[in-house]
Amino acid sequence: MDQNLLLIAMLVLAVGVMWYSGRSRKQQMAKMEEEKREQLRTVTPGAWVHTRVGFWGRFVDLDGDIVVLETTDGHEMYWDRQMIGEIGGEPPLEGAAQEAAEDDEAPEEDEAVLGLEPAADQPDGSEDADAATGAADEADDKN
């Protein structure tokens, strides 16, 4: 009889812990949802937004649960509010693209490109082209 009473007490305790943890989890989720809504309400147009599927776009507008994001080429895309993962920040390639634009200078003529020797050190091949043209002319004359 004592074992049955102990088993029932443990079962009631387990149900109570499960109920309490589920309740606190729901409160936590509701709090996070409200924070996300507030964050979307205060975001300014032009801010970078990262979706949960990896898309980066600029914030344009919010209409209820629909978020309008602009792609880099100017097209607007409509996203469900729940798909928004991060607001703010900078796309991963944005800084690299700016650095590449700054460093994108044309290589000098004497500079080796991709490990190749500069063109001035290599024969231009014009003698080979002249020889090939001459051989072709001789073959035409014989015919």
Tell me the residue type at 20.
Y
Phi, psi torsion values for 52, nearest 5 degrees: -70, -15
Residue 131 — pLDDT band, cuts 50, 70, 90?
low
Is the Cβ–Cβ distance between 52 and 85 less than 8 Å?
A: yes
CATH 1.10.3210 is right for the domain spanning 43-89: no
Residues 130, 135, 137, 139, Cα dihedral to 10°: -170
Place of tokens 């975001």: 43
The pLDDT assigned to 135 comes to: 52
The pLDDT assigned to 46 comes to: 87
Is the Cβ–Cβ distance between 60 and 49 less than 8 Å?
A: no
- What number is the average pLDDT over the span 99-110? 56
The pLDDT assigned to 102 comes to: 61
Predicted TM-score (pTM) above 0.75: no
